[in-house]
Amino acid sequence: MEIKKPAIAGTVESSDCLVSVEPGDGKIDFSLESSVANQFGHQIRKVTFETLERLGVDNVKISIVDKGALDCTIKARIEGAVYRSADQYKDLPWGGAIQ
Amino acid sequence: MELQNIVRGEPVSLPEMLNAREHRVYFQQELLKKYGCTLISFTLNIAGPVKVFPLAVRTFEEGENLIRSYCKTMGIRLENCLEHRDKTGFEAFFPAACEPEKVKRCMVMLEENSTLGRLFDIDVIRTDGRKVSRQELGYAERKCMICSRPAFECSRSRRHSVSDLQTAAVGIMSDYFADRYAGRIAQTACRALLYEVHATPKPGLVDSDNNGSHADMDVFTFESSALSILPYFKAFTACGINNAEKPGREVMELIRPIGVEAEIEMRRATNNVNTHKGAIFSFGIFCAALGILYGRSMPYSREKLSALCAGIAGDVPEELNRENASEKEEGTAGEICWKKYHIGGIREEAAKGYPAVFNIALPAFCSRAARGFPLNDAGILTLVDLMAVTEDTNIIHRSSEKELRKIQEQMKQLSADHVEEKNYRKVLKELDRKFAEQKISPGGSADLLAITYFLYFIEEGISPNKI
């Protein structure tokens, strides 16, 4: 999928994360701010890259503000942001495209 | 009760939860725009797919009330209260006309003070949309409700199973409401004892006018006594709640040691005078029975309460035979009367489910209260009804069975003469003088009058499950 315009999904409530995406400059540009970065930073990065790969996204600036979200929540929020950037707002398949 | 019977409701999916969270944040932003002041956002912290079930709803409403009370006490003006009641978890929003840090301090105090606090998520949001964090105000981060590690660590690593988390949350909620119920039952019992002793005039009994037939106690002795046994009323009730599914006879064995302790405390408070021994017996049974009603989530009814009392006290009269056989040297008035006259007294009354209270005293008392009699007067008139039917072993013990029968007849006559329509106060005052001369004291009937006040107050507070 192609990231056409900036989009966000999620919240900074506890156990959630706020994912922002915007068109990249030819690669995946990942930034993370997390309350559990020390313990889970690596895992969050892994989940992010896996999710983007399965969505076929390879050109994106993605930033995640994480408040202790579980992997399934992170996946779903990334999907949400990506779909919104492709102008799909309703019936977002939270967690649906990637099982 | 089993966990799956308590956490019963519509499960929500992850996408539904994620949508709900985004909507909550959008709604918060709208409110910040509309009110232009600090915003309190309240949700419950409940793990698992079922967010809304009756105990959780009660906890949510309790949380809303606590937020209102804390804000009121701390001088924080709430502009409004907006609610979302969806299956993804109830939410409440309070725009607050106050600086955000002060509001957050107040809400942290609530979360830390209330035993329900661990289940509350109370966010305080500044007008620019940023939350006030615990950390920036110097408070410790929230702890896991199971192992007291930092909460985010356990939730991120899924250290605990959903059912362990549900069990912990349900435990906190049920304990909170059960404890409050037991506390209120105990207060009500204590209140009933105070109303009983202050009801004046009562023939031969301690009241506000005089000490009746008693030289060793007055109204203050009774007040001290009533207060000293309040914690045991709570313990009787808690015992009923925690053993609601056990047969009544087993519950009797469990409340007996509480009664023994209550009596020790009573004697300490009264300088070794027996003020409320009989009352401890009956209130112990009633408190436990009300606890069982609560524990079984049964609505209050006189019939059920009476049957539960009978179940608890069912074996008690039997013990008189055993105690008789052991030929104890000293006994209570009730034990001695059984030996001499085979009158079962309060034990038989209890084993039958207190018919004198449920069939006679309580309906008569309620009818008088409804007709506008002051509670004092409804009480002293109901004492006449009780004395007419009660096998009052206190009277026998201090005089004789013959005297008891004479008094019962006399009381029946008073009722037949419609004393309540006449100058009953004067009649009872005269009886008080006579009883005091002859050292007659209808203590057994007085205990049942206290129970009558108790049930009147309980019923006044609607169903005890709502107390």
Give yes or no: residues B80 and B141 share one domain: yes
How many domains does chain B divide into? Answer: 2
CB contact at 8 A, B266 and B229: yes
In a domain, B280, yes or no: yes
Domain, as residue range, for B156: 3-160
Give yes or no: residues B275 and B416 share one domain: yes
Q: Does B156 touch chain A if contact means CB atoms closer than 8 Å?
A: yes
> What distance in Å separates the CA atoms of residue B237 and residue B260, rounded to the nearest whole number?
15
CA dist B461 to B106, B204, B465, Å?
31, 32, 10
With CA atoms as reference, report the closest residue to B196 among B409, B464, B459, B455. B455
> What distance in Å separates the CA atoms of residue B236 and residue B1, rounded to the nearest whole number?
20
3-state secondary structure of B157: helix
Give the list of residues 6+ apart from residue B60 with CB closer than 8 angstroms, or none: B44, B90, B92
Stretch (H or E) spanning B395: helix B393-398
Task: State which of B127, B160, B193 marks the end of a domain.
Answer: B160
pLDDT for B467: 45
3-state secondary structure of B241: helix
Task: State which of B103, B125, B160 marks the end of a domain.
Answer: B160
CB contact at 8 A, A19 and A77: yes
Residue in chain A lying closest to B152 (CA): A68
Residues of chain A found within 8 Å of residue B24, distances taken between Cβ atoms: 11, 13
In a domain, B378, yes or no: yes
Q: Do A68 and B152 touch (CB under 8 A)?
A: yes
With CA atoms as reference, report the closest residue to B270 among B216, B313, B207. B216
In a domain, B241, yes or no: yes
Q: Do A77 and B121 touch (CB under 8 A)?
A: no
pLDDT for B422: 87
> Peptide bond before B355: cis, by omega within 30 degrees of 0?
no
> What distance in Å separates the CA atoms of residue B119 and residue A96, rounded to the nearest whole number?
30
The pLDDT-based confidence of A99 (bands split at 50, 70, 90) is very low
CATH number of A7-85, picked from 3.30.230.10, 3.40.50.261, 1.10.3720.10, 3.90.650.10: 3.30.230.10
pLDDT for B338: 81
3-state secondary structure of B95: strand
3-state secondary structure of A4: coil
In a domain, B165, yes or no: no
CATH code, domain carrying B409:
1.10.4200.10
Q: A64 - beta bridge partners? A: A19, A32
Give the list of residues 6+ apart from residue B422 with CB closer than 8 angstroms, or none: none
CATH code, domain carrying B29:
3.30.70.260
Rounded to whole angstroms, the maximal C-alpha distance in chain A is: 35
Q: Report the predicted TM-score, pTM, of the whole model to 2 decimal places.
A: 0.87
Local confidence pLDDT in tens for the 467 residues of chain B: 688 889 999 999 999 999 999 999 999 999 999 999 999 999 999 999 999 999 999 999 999 999 999 999 999 999 999 999 999 999 999 999 999 999 999 999 999 999 999 999 999 999 999 999 999 999 998 999 999 888 888 988 899 999 999 999 999 999 999 999 999 999 999 999 999 999 999 999 999 999 999 999 999 999 999 999 999 999 999 999 999 999 999 999 999 999 999 999 999 999 999 999 999 999 999 999 999 999 999 999 999 999 999 999 998 888 887 765 555 556 777 888 887 777 888 999 999 999 999 999 999 999 999 999 999 999 999 999 999 999 898 888 888 888 899 999 999 999 989 888 889 999 999 999 999 999 999 999 999 999 999 999 999 985 444 44
pLDDT for B465: 46
Comparing CB atoms, the residue among A11, A36, A93 nearest residue B22 is A11
Comparing CB atoms, the residue among A12, A14, A76 nearest residue B152 is A14
Give yes or no: residues B293 and B420 share one domain: yes
Give yes or no: residues B113 and B207 share one domain: no
Burial tier of B426 (Cβ tally within 10 Å: 0-12, 13-18, 19+)? exposed
Percentage of residues of chain A with pLDDT beyond 70: 88
The DSSP annotation for B263-325 comes to HHHHHHHTTS--SSHHHHHHHHHHHHHHHHHHHTTPPP-HHHHHHHHHHHHTTHHHHHHHHHH
> What distance in Å separates the CA atoms of residue B280 and residue B285, rounded to the nearest whole number?
8
Give yes or no: residues B79 and B204 share one domain: no
Give yes or no: residues B129 and B261 share one domain: no
Angle at B171 between CA B170 and CA B176, to 5 degrees: 100
Q: Which residues of B181-200 are buried (b: 16+ CB within 10 A; e: fewer)?
A: bbbbbbebbbbbbbbbbbbb
Token pair listed for A7: 């989009």
The DSSP annotation for A28-49 comes to EEEEEEETTHHHHHHHHHHHHH
Task: State which of B160, B193, B218 marks the end of a domain.
Answer: B160
pLDDT for A90: 64
Give yes or no: residues B104 and B203 share one domain: no
Give yes or no: residues B27 and B125 share one domain: yes
Give yes or no: residues B265 and B358 share one domain: yes
Q: Do B18 and A76 touch (CB under 8 A)?
A: yes
Q: Which residues of B384-405 are buried (b: 16+ CB within 10 A; e: fewer)?
A: bbbbbbbbbbbbbbbbeeeebe
Q: Do B156 and A11 touch (CB under 8 A)?
A: no
pLDDT for B340: 78
Give yes or no: residues B121 and B154 share one domain: yes
Give yes or no: residues B268 and B393 share one domain: yes
Residues of chain A found within 8 Å of residue B14, distances taken between Cβ atoms: 72-73, 76, 94-95
Burial tier of B374 (Cβ tally within 10 Å: 0-12, 13-18, 19+)? exposed
